[in-house]
């Protein structure tokens, strides 16, 4: 028993070291050669705090959406658990290409909390579907209200919006099929069984897999019977994404762009977000900054463009990355201490 505890502690320590290393690497890559301290000194701290507060509410809204489906499945989710899953999603999405690490990271922490994989996977897919639907809707509205300005961009970026839009719509279609279409879900279950067979399936594995699939389908049926839950998730995602896009407005105002109005930033940021969010880069690094310079060329004066972009990236990406990493670290320690007390 002591050996198992020591092994668990060592694995936890290694995980936390890797977590910290990944955080430092991404921060170094994002801020290399950038004077964020100087930018913050010359910024209006009130608007900076508004941006930080908006990102805090963004994380809480994400956790609320995750907890809704889990509670529907019968789990009693605490606020700490809710925030742990939210932090995990943001952190691992930020350090992996196309944000592909978010859901696996969340599944890891959910499994540590003894949640069924089938229920966890269904919950995360529902949350992702809700988020994608609102992101695409706001992106379409952004293009309409900007009178198609995004299609007038020249050079390589001229193709980014159509590609990003197509990828996001494809994700929505796939999620709907997997979540609510029995045949498509059954097809994926069949693929899973074939892969298990190739790996040398054990007598009890097939039954366990089919039982998980049945639980997954039961969760889907529960959501169909409680459509108001998904409607609430959509509304929460709307608030969540509006808060996220508002960070750019707060940061621009912080460095003195007093003539920039909130709705213009919302429609512009919505178009930019669906252009770059699915590109295969960690946190859409590089292309986000390039897109920012193009999309806001006529909105933010060139002399403060760099400061506005740096501050926005810091408040919407770098600082939340640090907070989510620290949050996971602290919650892991707290959870570990509770488990140890329960075992004694």
For 129-180, the pLDDT digits (tens) are 889 889 989 988 888 887 766 666 665 566 666 777 778 788 788 777 767 6
Q: Both tokens of residue 277?
A: 């969010």
Q: Which residue has the higher pLDDT, 199 or 88?
A: 88
Tokens 């705090």, located at residue? 49
The C-alpha atoms of residue 237 and residue 330 are separated, in whole angstroms, by 26
Q: Is the pLDDT of residue 4 over 50?
A: no
The C-alpha atoms of residue 256 and residue 268 are separated, in whole angstroms, by 19
- Cβ 255 vs Cβ 42: under 8 Å: yes
Backbone φ/ψ region at 155: left (φ over 0), alpha (ψ -120 to 50), beta: left
pLDDT for the residue numbered 140: 86
pLDDT for the residue numbered 45: 95
The whole-chain average pLDDT of the chain stands at 78
The C-alpha atoms of residue 98 and residue 188 are separated, in whole angstroms, by 22
Give ∠ CA 233-162-129 in degrees, rounded to 5.
15
Q: Is the pLDDT of residue 71 over 60?
A: yes
pLDDT for the residue numbered 102: 81
Q: Which ranges constitute the DSSP H helices of the chain?
A: 2-31, 36-41, 45-72, 79-94, 102-112, 117-145, 160-180, 182-198, 203-225, 227-254, 262-276, 287-295, 302-313, 319-343
pLDDT for the residue numbered 184: 65
pLDDT tens digits, 282-306 = 444 455 667 777 778 888 888 888 8
- Cβ 121 vs Cβ 100: under 8 Å: no
Other residues' Cβ atoms within 10 Å of the Cβ of residue 11 = 10
Q: Binning pLDDT at 50, 70 and 90, where does residue 44 land?
A: very high
Q: Binning pLDDT at 50, 70 and 90, where does residue 43 land?
A: very high
Q: Binning pLDDT at 50, 70 and 90, where does residue 107 land?
A: confident
Q: Of the given ranges (57-71, 106-120, 250-264), which has the lowest mean pLDDT?
A: 106-120
The C-alpha atoms of residue 210 and residue 26 are separated, in whole angstroms, by 40
Q: What is the mean pLDDT of residues 69-83?
A: 88
Q: What is the mean pLDDT of residues 327-338?
A: 72
pLDDT for the residue numbered 210: 47
Instruction: Give bridge partners of residue 97 from the DSSP assignment.
Output: 282
- Cβ 30 vs Cβ 58: under 8 Å: no
The C-alpha atoms of residue 324 and residue 83 are separated, in whole angstroms, by 9
Q: Which residue has the higher pLDDT, 84 or 281?
A: 84
pLDDT tens digits, 218-264 = 666 667 777 888 899 999 999 999 999 999 999 999 999 988 899 99
Q: Is the pLDDT of residue 200 over 60?
A: no
Looking at the chain, the whole-number percentage of residues with pLDDT higher than 70 is 66
pLDDT tens digits, 7-33 = 555 665 666 667 667 777 677 666 766
pLDDT for the residue numbered 170: 82
Q: Which of 12-21, 41-50, 86-95 has the highest mean pLDDT?
A: 41-50
Give ∠ CA 74-102-317 in degrees, rounded to 5.
120
pLDDT for the residue numbered 261: 92
């Amino acid at each position: 028993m002591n050996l198992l505890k020591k092994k668990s502690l060592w694995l936890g320590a290694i995980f936390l070291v890797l977590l910290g290393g990944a955080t430092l690497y991404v921060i170094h890559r994002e801020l290399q050669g950038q004077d964020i301290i100087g930018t913050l000194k010359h910024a209006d701290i009130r608007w900076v705090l508004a941006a930080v507060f908006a990102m805090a509410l963004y994380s809480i809204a994400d956790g609320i959406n995750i907890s809704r489906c889990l509670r529907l499945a019968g789990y009693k989710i605490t606020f700490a658990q809710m925030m742990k899953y939210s932090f995990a999603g943001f952190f691992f999405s930020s350090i992996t290409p196309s944000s592909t690490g978010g859901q696996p990271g969340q599944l890891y922490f959910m499994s540590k909390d003894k949640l069924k994989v089938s229920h966890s996977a269904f919950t995360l897919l529902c949350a992702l579907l809700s988020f994608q639907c609102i992101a695409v809707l706001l992106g379409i509205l952004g293009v309409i209200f900007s009178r198609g300005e995004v299609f007038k961009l020249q050079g390589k970026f001229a193709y980014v919006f159509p590609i990003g839009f197509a990828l996001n719509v494809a994700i929505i279609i796939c999620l709907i099929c997997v979540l609510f279409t029995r045949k498509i879900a059954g097809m994926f279950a069949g693929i899973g069984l074939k892969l298990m067979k190739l790996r040398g399936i054990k007598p009890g594995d097939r039954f366990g897999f089919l039982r998980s699939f049945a639980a997954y389908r039961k969760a889907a049926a529960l959501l169909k019977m409680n459509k108001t839950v998904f409607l609430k998730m959509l509304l929460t995602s709307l608030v969540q994404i509006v808060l996220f896009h508002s960070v750019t407005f707060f940061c621009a105002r912080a460095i003195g762009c007093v003539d920039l109005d909130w709705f213009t930033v919302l429609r512009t940021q919505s178009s930019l977000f669906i252009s770059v969010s699915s590109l295969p880069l960690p946190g859409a690094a590089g292309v986000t900054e390039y897109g920012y310079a193009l999309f806001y060329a006529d909105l933010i004066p060139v002399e403060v463009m760099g400061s506005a972009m740096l501050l926005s990236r810091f408040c919407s990406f770098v600082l939340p990355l640090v907070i989510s990493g620290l949050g996971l670290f602290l919650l892991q320690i707290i959870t570990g201490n509770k488990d140890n007390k329960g075992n004694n």
